[in-house]
Chain A
Amino acid sequence: MTTDAVADAQIGRLPVALAVEEIRRDFPAMELKVYGKPLAYLDNAATSQKPRSVIDAEAHWYLESCANVHRGVHALSVRATAAYESARQKVASFVNAASAREIVFVKGTTDAVNLVAGSFARGRLDPGDEIVITGLEHHSNIVPWQLVCEDRGAKLRVARLDDRGDVDMEEFARLLSERTKMVAVSHVSNALGTINPVERMIELAHERDIPILIDGAQAVPHKKVDVQALGCDFYAFSSHKMFGPTGVGALYGRHDLLAAMPPYQGGGEMIRTVSFERTEYAEPPARFEAGTPNIAGAVGFGAAVDYLERIGLDRIEAYEDELLAYATAELEAVPGVRLIGTARRKAAVLSFVIGDVHAHDVGTILDQEGVAIRTGHHCAQPVMQHFGVPATSRASLAFYNTREEVDRLVVGLDKIREVFGG
């Protein structure tokens, strides 16, 4: 039986709830030990572990289909092109894009945001114009906009957060004006777990004919995303946060918008004809994929989509919601723990501080217990400033995590209180 057939058979036997122990066997990293202790990997918002099927798909491509895409007449090149384009189709279906040509393969979410900032927003900005973002953005959804604003004499406006870590929607609506030329918001906050009401944000932006980009890096591993139902203009996400390889991601862009955009980078692959006088550009998505792409990565990305669809994002979301509720209650019960970010709708991210112990010390002590979390500002310094903390500790959960791993986090926190007193 092939790996896929085995997985299919396993899934077929799964009840409605997630069979986590079976799922964990799909991920070789779940077997790892650190300092002689089983690894409890709770740093999924930074990057996720990869199932065997993704690792195999990438290796398989290198072993049997390694050739450049779109430019060879030989058998391997045809095979490589088919694998690459099939991955694009899978990614398109995954977010329900109307067509695969609306999916541009990029390096990752950061690259996708930079593409839209540089190729789309830049040309629409005049001095005095504005771009609206929110207070919970990752640096990758702040800095690219700052760069084009500086370049064009435009202004970045930021809708602030409330005390729970929800965007103040009244202010968000108020910031949108005839000067606003672009809106860019996260679907899910990496630092706080807040799920933004993107449906309403898109509606508000479109009422004023303002294009809107959604940074979906933290959303796609946790919930079903349908770009057509959302109606957003752009949707950016990374493979590596959704159990695929690093170094590849996707930009969904409405085809009419992509078709009207100038290239992002020049090179091979993105052209129709070149002479020293003039170059005609290829149609999207090729127009935005200059140079040899990360073909193996894209193939692995496609395998990650297959994997997630076999498990089912509805079931993943339900499982993670339950695990989040459990973890929230457990952490709140630890004396001295304060959760940072208690939004009404949250993905499975728990940012916290414990007493006056610095996050870096928390991280080191948990690491010794085999519990991997992220500490620091999570590339979201404005969020830290909003909550008046220099850094937080962050546990971010995926569907392969268990209550037992959450319990080990709590035991680790008890150890911290032991070392630091309190």
Chain B
Amino acid sequence: MSDLMDLYQEVILDHNRKPRNFGPLPDADHEAEGYNPLCGDQLKVYLRVADGVILDVHFDGSGCAISKASASLMTEAVKGKSVEEAEELFGGFHELLTGDPSVRGEAPEKLGKLAVFEGVREFPVRVKCATLAWHTLHAALSGDQEQVSTE
């Protein structure tokens, strides 16, 4: 049962119940859609970017607790950051979920709250749920209008 509690940490459950920055962003200048066909998670990320800085970011859609909480925490993490910093966070987040912890060591400090997703690495089929929002963010930032799919 401890594994399960590692996965569904209180922060994750809270962001699932009350997702932050949820809903469309009316004056968005970047957006992209992400889809996880395995479980039907579907979300849209909206961004307002100026001079290489993410001024605002929202998301909406439907999905499991992991994908929703991940999207919600992502919006908090990248708001106000430069595009470069956001992409770096994505790299660190991805490494947290898929990298070898014996090589990586502790979750890097710069991930902040995002470290709550560390437990997901024990649930390989759920890694895609946690990274969907980030892949979608990346697509929105790189102007890739194609729908992102985890498969």
Interface residues of A (CB under 8 A from B): 357-361, 364-365, 368, 375-377, 384, 390-391, 419-421
The contact of A360 among B3, B4, B129, by CB within 8 Å, is: B129
**Cross-chain contact A357 with B65 (CB below 8 angstroms):** yes
A-B CB contact pairs (8 Å), 16 listed: A357-B65, A358-B62, A358-B63, A359-B64, A360-B39, A360-B63, A360-B64, A361-B8, A368-B4, A375-B39, A376-B39, A384-B40, A420-B8, A420-B13, A420-B65, A421-B13
Q: Which residues of A contact B1 (CB under 8 A)?
A: 368
Complex alpha-carbon distance, A384 and B40, angstroms: 10
Q: Smallest Cβ distance from B49 to chain A, in angstroms?
A: 30
**Cross-chain contact B7 with A364 (CB below 8 angstroms):** yes
The contact of B41 among A360, A368, A419, by CB within 8 Å, is: A360
A-B residue pair count with CB separations less than 8 angstroms:
50
**Cross-chain contact B62 with A364 (CB below 8 angstroms):** no
The contact of A358 among B4, B7, B64, B123, by CB within 8 Å, is: B64
Scoring B residues 31 to 47 as 1 if CB is less than 8 Å from chain A, else 0, what string do you get? 00000001111100000
10 A-B pairs besides A365-B4, A368-B4 with CB distance below 8 A are A358-B39, A359-B40, A360-B39, A360-B126, A364-B4, A391-B40, A420-B8, A420-B65, A421-B13, A421-B17
Q: Which residues of B contact A359 (CB under 8 A)?
A: 39-40, 64
**Cross-chain contact A390 with B42 (CB below 8 angstroms):** yes
Look across to chain A and name the residue whose beta carbon is closest to the beta carbon of B62.
A390
Complex alpha-carbon distance, A419 and B66, angstroms: 13
Size of the chain B interface, CB-CB below 8 angstroms: 22
**Cross-chain contact B4 with A419 (CB below 8 angstroms):** yes
Q: Which residues of B contact A419 (CB under 8 A)?
A: 4, 8, 13
Q: Which residues of B contact A365 (CB under 8 A)?
A: 4
Which of B1, B39, B42 has the most CB atoms of chain A within a 10 A radius of its CB? B39
Complex alpha-carbon distance, A137 and B79, angstroms: 44
**Cross-chain contact A361 with B65 (CB below 8 angstroms):** yes
Complex alpha-carbon distance, A126 and B17, angstroms: 53
Complex alpha-carbon distance, A241 and B62, angstroms: 32
Q: Smallest Cβ distance from B10 to chain A, in angstroms?
A: 10
The contact of B123 among A364, A375, A390, by CB within 8 Å, is: A364
Q: Smallest Cβ distance from B43 to chain A, in angstroms?
A: 11
Q: Which residues of A contact B129 (CB under 8 A)?
A: 360
**Cross-chain contact A358 with B65 (CB below 8 angstroms):** yes
Complex alpha-carbon distance, A251 and B8, angstroms: 46
Given A368-B1, A419-B4, A420-B13, the answer on whether A361 and B64 have CB atoms closer than 8 Å is yes
Q: Which residues of B contact A361 (CB under 8 A)?
A: 8, 64-66
Q: Which residues of A contact B126 (CB under 8 A)?
A: 360, 364
Q: Nearest 8 pairs between A and B by C-beta?
A: A358-B64, A360-B64, A360-B39, A390-B40, A391-B40, A361-B65, A368-B4, A361-B64
Complex alpha-carbon distance, A296 and B64, angstroms: 41
Q: Which residues of A contact B65 (CB under 8 A)?
A: 357-358, 361, 420
Complex alpha-carbon distance, A6 and B151, angstroms: 47
Q: Which residues of B contact A420 (CB under 8 A)?
A: 8, 13, 65
Complex alpha-carbon distance, A358 and B3, angstroms: 19
